[in-house]
């Protein structure tokens, strides 16, 4: 971030100033609003729809407008926008016309980040939320009183954020639109790098360059911690000095004596035993995420027993293989997986849980991702015993690619496809039986299909 931008934001972030947030109900906009309000600023915002998030903000005394209007910014010294809000948004257009500065959400977080001695920023195509949550559990167990920003719900915090009084901020850091380039990490964590967000990045080469720039934001006395077994990550960080984690013994942080379900092991850091780990979450990918969390704890001077206790208490973040309830004897789980690699890893974890039949309702997320990764989706979506497809969740896009979930269904034997979520729910309920696990999977609103069939207590 340019120095003059930092200076302008700091001038606006003074107690008593009014700051307006466009898209205030978003997963990282909501905690930003609360943090700024607690620092004495007068906060207002707007969102397209009334949600639980907007109601929570109102309960905090924050003015929230439903719908966007130029009148909403009256009296604001600056406007902060979510990445999905463009220059044609009436509030942003009005601010620019009036000479009111408009800043990106990530720029605002970046300025706040500079106020902390330790800024732990967790990036990667997959596993950001889980790894951020695991690190949060460890730092809470260590009484470090961190400030936290997670792109999901963490039961420990009863939210996706926390405002602490310690010297550490722990922040999930997204590569989309290069937003994490606005951060100031003292510890940069990279889980993995794959092709994604191809509505912004041109190709994998550009994605790797973006992650390298993120890693290079760390100061000379900072730390880069990265997956030493991810080929793209290793390539992106070539020539840089960093701490590695992974499953293999050649990594600085790795497990030994791993159980068949990937939940129990001895963690080795720098060639010496660090802790004995017992996880409550399943899957190889969660063990890898835990190695990344242990690497951070080790580098930040937290003892192994404290790290092990923190991780033992982690039972998943919201929408990460989250148990929702039961339907006609079947267990219902929800997961945020929306990339072929994430779907594969999640299904591998579920297969270790001992169910007789895996039923998956999948909602592809965005047209560009579905088109770009179509063949990979065809491969991975053949793994469940029963596949139910919902229509593609548009998110920020229009269907210029003319692609539909029915195109996937046509390539996957036995797949069924429905246009609406109520149809998905009705079908899932009709086929559920004892011994099944029903998975609702995707980054959109597919979770509603699972919640609709769970038996009321």
Tell me which residue of 69, 153, 18 sits closest to 447, measured CA to CA.
Answer: 153
pLDDT band at 457 (very low <50, low <70, confident <90, very high): low
- Domain co-membership, 150 together with 168: yes
- Domain co-membership, 368 together with 275: no
pLDDT band at 409 (very low <50, low <70, confident <90, very high): very high
| 111 located within any domain | no
The structure's pTM equals: 0.87
| 168 located within any domain | yes
User: Which of 105, 133, 164 lies at the terminal end of a domain, its last residue?
Assistant: 105
- Domain co-membership, 136 together with 98: no
Contact 316, 386 (CB under 8 A): no
Query: Helix, strand, or coil here: 158?
Result: coil
User: Which of 312, 345, 367 lies at the terminal end of a domain, its last residue?
Assistant: 312
> Could you tell me the two tokens for 139?
């730092």
| 82 located within any domain | yes
- Domain co-membership, 295 together with 359: no
Reported as a single tens digit per residue, the pLDDT across 95-148 is: 999 999 999 999 999 999 999 999 999 999 999 999 999 999 999 999 999 999
Contact 306, 138 (CB under 8 A): yes
Averaged pLDDT, 147-166: 89
Q: How far is CA 43 from the centre of its chain?
A: 25
Give pairs for 14-18: CB < 8 Å, separation 24+: 14/40, 14/41, 15/39, 15/40, 15/41, 16/40, 16/41, 16/42, 17/41, 17/42, 17/77, 17/78, 18/42, 18/43, 18/44, 18/75, 18/76, 18/77
- Domain co-membership, 161 together with 252: yes
SS3 content of the chain, % helix, strand, coil (to 5): 35, 25, 40
Please state, in angstroms and rounded to a whole number, the distance separating the CA atoms of residues 329 and 446: 21
- Domain co-membership, 87 together with 143: no
Domain that holds residue 22: 3-105
Count of structural domains within the chain? 3
Residue 222 has pLDDT above 80, yes or no: yes
- Domain co-membership, 344 together with 231: no
User: Which of 280, 312, 344 lies at the terminal end of a domain, its last residue?
Assistant: 312
- Domain co-membership, 61 together with 137: no
Residue 151 has pLDDT above 90, yes or no: no
| 110 located within any domain | no
Averaged pLDDT, 304-333: 95
- Domain co-membership, 144 together with 263: yes
| 198 located within any domain | yes
Averaged pLDDT, 360-373: 97
At 27 the pLDDT is: 76
Residues 6+ apart with CB under 8 A from 27: 151, 152, 160
**What CATH number is attached to the domain comprising 91?**
3.40.50.720
DSSP, residue by residue, 164-202: -SSSEEEEE---GGGGGGG---SEEEE----S--TTT-S
**What CATH number is attached to the domain comprising 352?**
3.90.190.20
| 83 located within any domain | yes
- Domain co-membership, 233 together with 303: yes
| 317 located within any domain | no
Reported as a single tens digit per residue, the pLDDT across 334-343 is: 999 999 999 9
| 348 located within any domain | yes
- Domain co-membership, 393 together with 436: yes
**Residue appearing with tokens 């009256």:** 74
**Residue appearing with tokens 């997204």:** 174
**What CATH number is attached to the domain comprising 145?**
3.40.1190.10
- Domain co-membership, 391 together with 372: yes
């Amino acid at each position: 971030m340019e120095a003059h931008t930092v200076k302008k934001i700091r001038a606006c972030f003074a107690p008593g100033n009014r700051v307006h947030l466009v898209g205030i109900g978003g997963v990282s906009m909501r905690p930003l609003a609360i943090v700024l309000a607690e620092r004495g600023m007068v906060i207002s915002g707007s969102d397209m729809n009334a949600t639980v998030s907007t109601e929570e903000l109102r309960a905090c005394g924050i003015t929230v407008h439903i719908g966007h209007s130029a009148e909403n910014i009256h009296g604001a010294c600056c406007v902060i926008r979510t990445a999905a809000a463009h220059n044609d948004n009436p509030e942003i257009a009005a601010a620019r016309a009036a000479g009111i500065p408009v800043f990106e959400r990530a720029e605002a977080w970046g300025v706040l980040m500079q106020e902390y001695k330790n800024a732990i920023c967790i990036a990667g195509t997959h596993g950001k939320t889980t790894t951020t949550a695991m690190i949060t559990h460890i730092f809470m167990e260590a009484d470090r009183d961190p400030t936290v920003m997670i792109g999901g719900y963490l039961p420990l915090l009863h939210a996706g954020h926390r405002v602490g009084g310690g010297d550490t901020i722990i922040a999930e850091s997204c590569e989309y639109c290069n937003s994490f380039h606005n951060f100031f990490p003292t510890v940069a964590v990279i889980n993995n790098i794959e092709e994604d967000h191809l509505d912004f990045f041109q190709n994998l080469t550009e994605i790797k360059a973006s992650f390298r720039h993120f890693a290079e934001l760390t100061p000379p006395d900072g730390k880069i911690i990265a997956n030493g077994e991810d080929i793209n990550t290793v390539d992106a960080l070539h020539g840089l000095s960093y701490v590695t984690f992974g499953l293999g013994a050649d990594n600085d942080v790795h497990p030994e004596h791993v159980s068949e379900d990937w939940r129990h092991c001895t963690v080795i850091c720098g060639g010496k035993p660090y802790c004995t780990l017992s996880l409550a979450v399943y899957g190889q990918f969660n063990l890898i995420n835990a190695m990344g969390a242990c690497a951070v704890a080790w580098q930040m001077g937290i003892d192994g027993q404290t790290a092990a206790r923190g991780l033992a208490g982690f039972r998943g973040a919201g929408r990460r293989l989250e148990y929702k309830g039961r339907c006609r004897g079947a267990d219902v789980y929800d997961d945020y997986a929306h990339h072929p690699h994430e779907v594969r890893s999640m299904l591998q974890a579920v297969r270790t849980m001992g169910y007789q039949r895996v039923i998956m309702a999948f909602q592809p997320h965005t047209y560009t991702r579905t088109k770009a990764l179509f063949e990979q989706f065809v491969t991975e979506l053949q793994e469940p015993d029963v596949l139910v497809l919902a229509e593609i969740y548009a998110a920020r896009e229009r269907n210029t690619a003319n692609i539909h979930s029915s195109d996937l269904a046509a390539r996957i034997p036995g797949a069924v496809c429905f246009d609406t979520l109520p149809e998905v729910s009705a079908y899932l309920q009709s086929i559920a039986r004892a011994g099944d696990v029903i998975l609702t999977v995707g980054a959109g609103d597919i979770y509603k299909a699972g919640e609709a069939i769970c038996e009321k207590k």
